[in-house]
Amino acid sequence: MIAPFVTPTEKTPTAAIDAIRDELEVFDDWMDRYQFIIELGRKLPSFPADWMNDAHRVPGCQSQVWMESRLQDGRLYLAGASDAAIVSGLVALLLRVYSGRTQAEIAATDPIFLKDLGLIAALSSNRGNGVASMAQAIRTASANS
């Protein structure tokens, strides 16, 4: 799969979650973690401007978030973007875990990992709800593929 879709770097969703945990633990405080997350968002593949529309918009997010999915060879590949830097980073985290995975892997990977990593508690309630909406949109796209 080519850009704008994310190809996984880790072999499994669990490995991706473990890698993210290890990366976040390097930083002593949340300001540094936020900066790291923002940098992840900046590294996302470019999202096509013509996909930045209501058909691709994820409902329930305070910021504008757009996602697209494609099923190829039994795996769901995801692309995403946001108009907010921190939210783009959160999109990048979710895509790192879920993109390029099978429907079974996506269904088996509960987004509770976001809470376990401390991300939900560190975000405003609106952003926390938005991340949950993004995770739900991914799981719905997978179930409907």
Catalytically active residues are 61
Side chain identity at residue 138, one-letter code? I
Phi, psi for 100 (deg, rounded to 5): 80, 15
Phi, psi for 3 (deg, rounded to 5): -55, 145
